[in-house]
Chain A
């Protein structure tokens, strides 16, 4: 008896999902949004917007004029990351900066080689153009990497017996070349999943209200929960496909490593999607028409996913109020989790708090949305 009721319920959910899949298939805009956008975005962020710089114009102000300082210049010039575009006196650096000839300057003070030979801390100055923080960060990361390689070489060449005292920044550890695709892929995944889930479900369900077919559905034996599950299922599948697509493209085109387990990635995607689908459902129940649903969906899905998830702006740098708000944003946990899985090979032992946070959000919002959904019609 219960078995056959469950079977009938599953059949009805299947019918809803099947119908929804036909909607999606017959609507090129939805499919485009879901499958072309990820690829376009990945290329945009991976190549264009990312500004993975090379041949950064650098001026080299050498006050030491020694064997060691010339070696440092070669290290920068030969890396391909920097091109030495001038060798002015230290007073001339400012002019070259202002004229836009260089975005970075390396100043080697007098006594550089002497300090190295004495085994003392040798200092060079890196000046950079901070007008564009993204560029500035990259210059910093790349210069840091080159300096590190150079100091290792120096240590090996027995210029000094002591390890050159260099600080290694933690955030460059998994992305030593400062390649933006590496941190963009996890961020982008969160962004795309959020859009797909929130916008498409909000649209699909608001459309059902607008069309009046929701009432028709309520008048049929299809239950509320069956309607919700049936409508959300195809978008869940679509979202997971997107996630696979982004991860695969990231790996193939941008050499983003997949150090952790793929099933774990999918699990993260699934739990995140559940929350986002709930958010879309909630919006559509409150909004009632497609226009409002689109706007609310876009605002509530895209903005936090871009701004507060750590996709572009590091959460550590945010002021306290924003950092606190970001704790309520599921994309934050997905970005963190995916970075951990993809770049560090972390497993659940490390990332369970992220998964738990997303699960809590999903349960809360789905509960809220279903409650509102039931009251809507009564």
Chain B
């Protein structure tokens, strides 16, 4: 490894990771991963179970020593100064590890004290956070009695007590209903607007749309890193069209193999087409379908989802594997 980077570099980026590697015996869980996370950014980290997301997070929060490479979080090297890292970040683990037998407020007071807050400042701060996550009315309730969504907001509050510049959220919304998930993401976005950097893993692809940038992990490697729109452009370059009307099945099969048409597939009562965006657009396809015998044709452009991206990435990686 070369001499340390100029001091300014760490200030611009909340997290700087280069060639970070973690091996467990023969198995390489994280394989030479490099990326940077900007200050105040919501950075999504996606991947299937076992792809290395949690191992990466555990290294970044100072819980697990890297086998190779380097990672700097809030300006501190995770390998040499894990305690400095721990003091400057907030972490919400996969299971909401709150003390369920304790009252809501005691959980906050305990975690606050664990981070060195005390006395009146701690009380004020915990009251402030209770209000912010909408639990001020429940502060005396036993934590175990709260529904999942509220527990998860409490866990977030516990991670924010000491005003960390960076928070790591490991699958924060697993097992929470959609309404609660939406409310939770509203909190996260508000946090980022306030300048806090958010590093979040999830396997809900709809949630990943909220992230400014997304890193995709497959088998321990970071195979894609971009904004959601950028990922879609790169990985799903085709134009996706949905056609409705009568006599589509026959017309569709006639279009198969035509210039600029990459794939045609039945989609419910309609037709799903992937075309070369440089050669065909919605109107041209509608025209072609009418000429092929379909009637009352309507064609709409569908935007590719992150799910399409994810599948394309996984497919590509599978092809490359020997």
CB atoms of A219 and B110 under 8 A apart: no
Known: A215-B63, A220-B111. A12 touches B116 (CB 8 A): yes
Is A128 an interface residue when CB atoms closer than 8 A count as contact? no
Is A136 an interface residue when CB atoms closer than 8 A count as contact? no
A18–B111 alpha-carbon span in the complex (Å): 12
Chain B, 89-118, contact with A by CB distance < 8 Å: what is the 0/1 string? 001011101111110001000110111101
Minimum Cβ distance to chain A for residue B119 (Å): 10
Residues of chain B within 8 A of A364, CB atoms compared: none
Q: Which of B62, B83, B87, B106 contacts A22 (CB 8 A)?
A: B106
Q: Which of B65, B95, B115 contacts A221 (CB 8 A)?
A: B115
Known: A19-B99, A19-B102, A211-B95. A217 touches B114 (CB 8 A): yes
CB atoms of B106 and A19 under 8 A apart: yes
CB atoms of A18 and B113 under 8 A apart: yes
Minimum Cβ distance to chain A for residue B137 (Å): 21
CB atoms of B113 and A378 under 8 A apart: no
Minimum Cβ distance to chain B for residue A290 (Å): 13
Residues of chain B within 8 A of A12, CB atoms compared: 113-114, 116
Chain A, 187-230, contact with B by CB distance < 8 Å: what is the 0/1 string? 00000000000000000000000011111111111100000000
Minimum Cβ distance to chain A for residue B102 (Å): 6
Lowest 8 A-B CB distances belong to which pairs? Answer: A15-B113, A213-B97, A212-B95, A212-B97, A216-B97, A219-B91, A19-B110, A220-B114
Residues of chain A within 8 A of B101, CB atoms compared: 23, 26-27
* New A-B contacts (10) at CB < 8 Å, excluding given A18-B113, A19-B99: A19-B110, A22-B102, A211-B95, A211-B100, A218-B63, A219-B62, A220-B111, A220-B114, A221-B87, A221-B115
For A, the interface residue count at a CB cutoff of 8 angstroms equals: 26
A222–B97 alpha-carbon span in the complex (Å): 15
Residues of chain B within 8 A of A8, CB atoms compared: 116
- 16 interchain pairs (CB within 8 A)? A12-B113, A12-B116, A15-B113, A19-B99, A26-B101, A211-B95, A212-B95, A215-B63, A216-B93, A217-B114, A219-B61, A220-B114, A220-B115, A221-B87, A221-B116, A378-B64
CB atoms of A377 and B63 under 8 A apart: yes
Is A11 an interface residue when CB atoms closer than 8 A count as contact? yes
A377–B82 alpha-carbon span in the complex (Å): 14
Q: How large is the interface on B (under 10, 10 to 19, 20 to 34, 35 or more residues)?
A: 20 to 34
Q: Which of A23, A27, A215, A378 contacts B97 (CB 8 A)?
A: A215
A135–B97 alpha-carbon span in the complex (Å): 55
Is B86 an interface residue when CB atoms closer than 8 A count as contact? yes
A219–B92 alpha-carbon span in the complex (Å): 9
A23–B110 alpha-carbon span in the complex (Å): 12
CB atoms of B91 and A11 under 8 A apart: no
- Closest A-chain residue to B87, C-beta based? A221
A172–B110 alpha-carbon span in the complex (Å): 54
- Interfacial residues, chain B to chain A (CB-CB below 8 A): 61-65, 83, 86-87, 91, 93-95, 97-102, 106, 110-111, 113-116, 118
CB atoms of B91 and A26 under 8 A apart: no
Tell me the interface secondary structure of chain B in the complex.
loop
CB atoms of A212 and B94 under 8 A apart: yes
Residues of chain A within 8 A of B115, CB atoms compared: 220-221
Residues of chain B within 8 A of A222, CB atoms compared: 114
- Closest B-chain residue to A216, C-beta based? B97
- Closest A-chain residue to B86, C-beta based? A221
A216–B89 alpha-carbon span in the complex (Å): 12
Is A14 an interface residue when CB atoms closer than 8 A count as contact? yes
Minimum Cβ distance to chain B for residue A11 (Å): 6
- Closest B-chain residue to A26, C-beta based? B101
Within 8 A of B (CB), among A336-367: none
Residues of chain A within 8 A of B91, CB atoms compared: 216, 219-220
A134–B29 alpha-carbon span in the complex (Å): 63
Residues of chain B within 8 A of A23, CB atoms compared: 99, 101-102
- Closest A-chain residue to B122, C-beta based? A15
A16–B106 alpha-carbon span in the complex (Å): 12
Within 8 A of B (CB), among A9-45: 11-12, 14-16, 18-19, 22-23, 26-27
A217–B101 alpha-carbon span in the complex (Å): 17
Known: A211-B95, A212-B94, A377-B63. A220 touches B113 (CB 8 A): no
Known: A213-B97, A218-B63, A219-B62. A14 touches B86 (CB 8 A): no
A217–B115 alpha-carbon span in the complex (Å): 10
Residues of chain A within 8 A of B110, CB atoms compared: 15, 18-19
- Closest A-chain residue to B57, C-beta based? A219
CB atoms of B99 and A213 under 8 A apart: yes
Minimum Cβ distance to chain B for residue A358 (Å): 32
A15–B113 alpha-carbon span in the complex (Å): 6
CB atoms of A11 and B118 under 8 A apart: yes
A77–B99 alpha-carbon span in the complex (Å): 64
Residues of chain B within 8 A of A19, CB atoms compared: 99, 102, 106, 110
Residues of chain A within 8 A of B83, CB atoms compared: 221
Known: A26-B102, A219-B63, A220-B86. A211 touches B113 (CB 8 A): no
CB atoms of B113 and A14 under 8 A apart: yes
Residues of chain B within 8 A of A18, CB atoms compared: 110, 113
A14–B102 alpha-carbon span in the complex (Å): 17
- Closest A-chain residue to B101, C-beta based? A26
Minimum Cβ distance to chain A for residue B80 (Å): 15
A321–B100 alpha-carbon span in the complex (Å): 47
Known: A219-B61, A219-B63, A219-B91. A213 touches B113 (CB 8 A): no
Residues of chain B within 8 A of A11, CB atoms compared: 113, 116, 118
A14–B83 alpha-carbon span in the complex (Å): 19
Minimum Cβ distance to chain B for residue A36 (Å): 20
Residue of A8, A214, A215, A217 with most partner-chain B CB within 10 A: A215
Known: A15-B110, A19-B99. A219 touches B116 (CB 8 A): no
Residues of chain A within 8 A of B102, CB atoms compared: 19, 22-23, 26
A214–B99 alpha-carbon span in the complex (Å): 11
Q: Which of A211, A213, A219 contacts B86 (CB 8 A)?
A: A219
Residues of chain A within 8 A of B63, CB atoms compared: 215, 218-219, 377
Residues of chain B within 8 A of A213, CB atoms compared: 97-99
- Closest B-chain residue to A215, C-beta based? B93
A219–B106 alpha-carbon span in the complex (Å): 19
- Closest A-chain residue to B100, C-beta based? A211
Residues of chain A within 8 A of B106, CB atoms compared: 19, 22
